[in-house]
Chains A and B, each alone.
Chain A
């Protein structure tokens, strides 16, 4: 049997040492009527080679992003991953370790998380960050819970242009907490600010806005911050970290909590997971922040080192009074993001953001020259934009897919009023030629 080291002789010696004859005797405490009297009905175990053949067979049944041109984002983005990221991640001292419960033998993980926290603070312009969440959607939901605890208020206002799956996750998380969630409609591809005034009261714990929003447009975060602060509530900004080389940071805009999806920082698309939820906030809220946090301290001999800290916030100590039940993080994904950022540096990240903007704008300018295609909104955008099509969105995407191109996301499924609207994404990965190919196929 693979991975099981015991020889028959060793097994006998071990049993003899305990004064028993069979392993079965060690299971005598399981009541007879509960014993599974048959074998598990699973396929017979395979050798490594046969197992590899089978996973390769399944992998080959998929069409990976190297086999088509991707013009789709919507919360999962194809960016260039420097080769060094994967190489460092494959160090098994990182990936076969547990949560750093014994800091003396976990300084690698702890220091990497401390560096990650610093990177997230720098990117978002916030004071403190935690060690990460499962993904952007759950980070957003936990930020909402945090705002509710800080403000002791029971209403949330959320833009309808926050990623639909994030909004659904928020609803699930809060479904049993008696929280009223008010949705802000949109106007011209942006969250409708006129509506904001109507719903903002001193009962609102937080306003939640995504930037760039789900339609790719850039919101005026500072305006939302000002309005909610007038009512004593918090602004939760959900941001794309890759955009933060060029776009104003949540901190610069006055946000109280910044969250987002870190997949775009060098993590593979991987059909939606594992990804990386990040969270950062103003210093005064740090003791309300959920999740693991790493801090710097000194050892017995005065040398600097790192530990998990502020643990009294967490479930293993506060139990039913804890603000969250989270007890892990996405340490390896956070490490990937940190390495990515260290390799690119501030200029590299700005260059990625700038190219995303240039290329998406180039694509949009070409597309709108086609008959039957128009830009749906006039708001400024980052790497995604919406076009309105005369031909049905389904038929355009069908034609594109047959030509080896993954077209824009059909928005009708998420916003009924946006039937025959496509959300295109153009990152730094696409070349001029590929963009022109997209336009050519759509143009027929």
Chain B
């Protein structure tokens, strides 16, 4: 492993970035009272620039990214991140704007945001969008607050249950708790779809919303979505669309037409903004017109008369602000650039090829791994490695072995309703050769599972570190470096 940057530090070394002050020099104690000033200097590293550059260059080489290779992480849409996106967001005209500079001096930025809102509304079939949420989970919280505000505005205060399918992402229940709601889990049927009878029993006067992804977390289209929407709407609840899987259906079907009232999208999944090793992302939220008055403020609007864009702060019914300023603008620039290049036809082609790749790969892999649900799938699919469990080989072992072959592992053990799940999303930007090679390796691993389980149980063997002891990490947490 690479030493920590603190361990490379040498007292007295430093870079040189600022000219000496050209205003009268003062001592800190002349400017602020002693008791308000710092006593002990922070132990930050002391290095020259080349040492810092080398350190982080080496760290980068311990990482695996989309630019390194195939990254079939289900539900995460690890598609190629076009380089033009990065350059666009780095343009001074975008990256060097103060959030409080006069609105007439950021008209290009507002036009970009406004158009992005319009494009996303058209793609999803919604009426209005906010770009404020900084991530998918942040979008969920925003969406649920919008729904609660809608009910409250109608004097409907008793709705405090949020329904989620048992295949739902963990953020759904956690977000529901944040808005003071309780979760009711709706079981899935054998084919992985929502059980309508169970849903009918669960809805009622206390139903605030149903949260759903479609295609669902198994990668299957919920074919009864119209009935589902009817059941929830008739009970007075609203439908929330988790847009994590939007890459499957662009130009084919729209959540707005399915009956969804609120959607969030992940610009870092479907719209090619990179994931940054965990962020920043962006989770814009779209709504039907009945929810529009409640959108977080400010709303980016356009004045037809003056032909100017502006931040609309006069929103008496708004749920308020979800963060400071206007959202992760830099991420929005990347998604906008992508939207410009793809256009409507391009986006439909994206979904077509994402679904083609997923089905092709599923077909290849189902010869060696069990496919719990019959296809076709949409942009991703779930397999189980349970046939190898008898040989003491678990999904985790297969995932780790894949790393040895130079692939990133799929999402594993999710959704929870499939035991030993492998959730695979190839995305549209992968070519046939990569898919074939991945399938060949997966077949080889299946063979290894039968012949040499130890090889898998001890995998990975070729990575910078091997399997890490998570128990020790949690029992005796070491969460920072300390000077000896």
Per-residue interface assignment for chain B, residues 464 to 484, with 1 indicating a CB less than 8 Å from any chain A CB and 0 otherwise:
111111101110011111000
Mask of A331-355 contacts with B, CB within 8 angstroms, 1/0: 1110100110111111111111011
Nearest B residue to A338 via CB reads B5
A435 to B339, CA, bound (A): 43
B68 contacts which chain A residues (CB < 8 A)? Answer: 93, 96
Q: Chain B residues near A435: list those with CB within 8 A.
A: 23
Query: Which residues in window 435-483 of B have CB below 8 A to A?
Result: 458, 460, 463-470, 472-474, 477-481
In angstroms, Cα B198 to Cα A250, docked, is 52
Does B340 lie within 8 Å of A70, measured CB to CB? Answer: no
Given the known interface contacts A252-B40, A325-B174, A359-B23, the answer about A135 and B324 at a Cβ–Cβ threshold of 8 Å is: yes
| B173 and A319 within 8 A (CB) | yes
Within the complex, the shortest CB–CB distance from A128 to chain B, in Å, comes to 5
Are B18's CB and A248's CB within 8 A?
no
- For the A-B complex with A91-B56, A134-B279, A309-B477 known, give 10 more contacts whose Cβ atoms are closer than 8 Å: A29-B223, A46-B341, A55-B333, A58-B112, A63-B101, A95-B65, A114-B480, A249-B42, A273-B329, A274-B134
CB distance from B188 to the nearest CB of A (A): 16
- Which one of A40, A132, A305 lies within 8 Å of B122 (CB-CB)? A40
- Inter-chain contact A305/B56, CB cutoff 8 Å: no
- The residue on A at minimum CB distance from B225 is A34
**Chain A 286-298: CB-based contact to B (< 8 A → 1; otherwise 0):** 1000001111111
CB-based contact B63/A30 at 8 Å: no
Are A137 and B31 interface neighbours, CB within 8 A? no
Residue in A75, A322, A342 whose beta carbon sits within 8 Å of that of B177 in the complex: A322
Interface residues of B in 84-143 (CB under 8 A from A): 84, 86-102, 105-109, 111-112, 119, 122-123, 134-138, 140-141
CA A333 to CA B328, docked complex, whole Å: 12
Task: Indicate whether A358 sits within 8 Å of B465 (C-beta atoms), given known contacts A62-B107, A320-B173.
Answer: no
Convert A175-213 into 0s and 1s, putting 1 for each residue whose CB lies closer than 8 angstroms to a CB of B: 111100000000000000000000000000000000000
Chain A CB within 8 A of B302 CB: no
Q: Using A136-B324, A345-B44 as known contacts, say yes or no to A64 and B96 having CB atoms under 8 A apart.
A: yes
A-B CB contact pairs (8 Å), 17 listed = A6-B353, A30-B249, A33-B226, A40-B344, A51-B341, A87-B53, A102-B64, A107-B59, A168-B320, A177-B178, A218-B36, A272-B99, A274-B280, A274-B331, A322-B177, A326-B137, A342-B5
The answer on a CB contact under 8 Å between A297 and B432 is no
B23 touches A36 (CB 8 A): no
Whether, in the assembled complex, B290 has its beta carbon less than 8 Å from a beta carbon of chain A, the answer is no
Type the 1/0 row for A46-80, where 1 means its CB is closer than 8 Å to any CB of B: 11100110111111111111101010101110101
Inside 8 A of B464's CB, which chain A residues have their CB? 104-105, 107, 305
Distance of A298 from chain B, by nearest CB (Å): 6
Interchain CA distance A309-B350 in the complex, whole Å: 36
Tell me whether A342 and B45 are in contact (CB under 8 A).
Answer: yes
Q: Taking CB as reference atom, which chain B residue is nearest A322?
A: B174
The 8 Å CB contact of B178, one of A68, A104, A173, is: A173
Instruction: Determine whether the beta carbon of B106 is less than 8 Å from that of A271.
Output: yes
A297/B472 contact (C-beta < 8 A), A13-B432, A111-B62, A138-B134 known: yes
A315 x B32 contact (CB < 8 A): no
Give the distance in Å from the alpha carbon of A166 to the alpha carbon of B324 in the complex: 6
Assess whether B197 is interfacial by the CB under 8 Å rule.
no
B199-207, B231-239, B269-277, B382-390: which lies at the interface: B269-277
Q: Lowest 9 CB-CB distances: which A-B pairs, in order? A: A272-B325, A59-B93, A45-B343, A61-B108, A40-B344, A274-B280, A96-B65, A272-B99, A332-B276
Knowing A175-B320, A380-B36, say if A42 contacts B67 (CB, 8 Å). Answer: no
Q: A175 with B145: in contact, given A60-B108, A76-B99, A105-B403 (CB under 8 Å)?
A: yes
Q: Which residues of B have CB within 8 Å of A131?
A: 278
Question: B-facing mask of A122-161, CB < 8 A → 1, else 0?
Answer: 1101011101101111100000010000000000000000
B46 neighbours in A (Cβ, 8 Å): 345-347
The yes or no answer to B299 lying at the interface (CB within 8 A) is no
Tell me if B323 and A137 are in contact (CB < 8 A): yes
Bound Cα distance from A116 to B78, whole angstroms:
25
Please tell me if the beta carbons of B145 and A269 are within 8 angstroms of each other in the complex. Answer: no
Asked whether A273 and B275 contact (CB < 8 A) given A55-B88, A58-B111, the answer is no
Cα of A428 to Cα of B321 in the assembled complex, Å: 31
Cα(A355)–Cα(B21), bound, Å: 6
Nearest CB of chain A from residue B52's CB, rounded to whole Å: 5
B274 to chain A, nearest CB (A): 5
Chain A residues whose C-beta falls within 8 Å of the C-beta of B99 in the assembled complex: 75-76, 269, 271-272
Given contacts A23-B355, A176-B145, A295-B479, contact A269 B343 (CB under 8 A): no
Q: For residue A36, which residues in chain B have a CB less than 8 angstroms away from its CB? A: 251-254, 257
Across the interface, do B360 and A17 meet the contact criterion of CB distance under 8 Å? yes
Q: Chain A residues near B365 (CB, 8 Å)?
A: none
Least CB distance, A315 to chain B, in whole angstroms: 4
Cα distance, A317 to B470, chains bound together (Å) = 15
Q: Is the CB of A331 within 8 A of B337?
A: no
CB-CB < 8 A to B251: which residues of A?
Answer: 36, 39-40
A contact residues around B352 at 8 Å (CB): 23
Given known A82-B15, A173-B178, contact A328–B100 (CB-CB < 8 A): no
| Interface status of A43 (Cβ within 8 A of chain B) | yes
- On whether the beta carbons of B42 and A123 are closer than 8 Å, the reply is yes
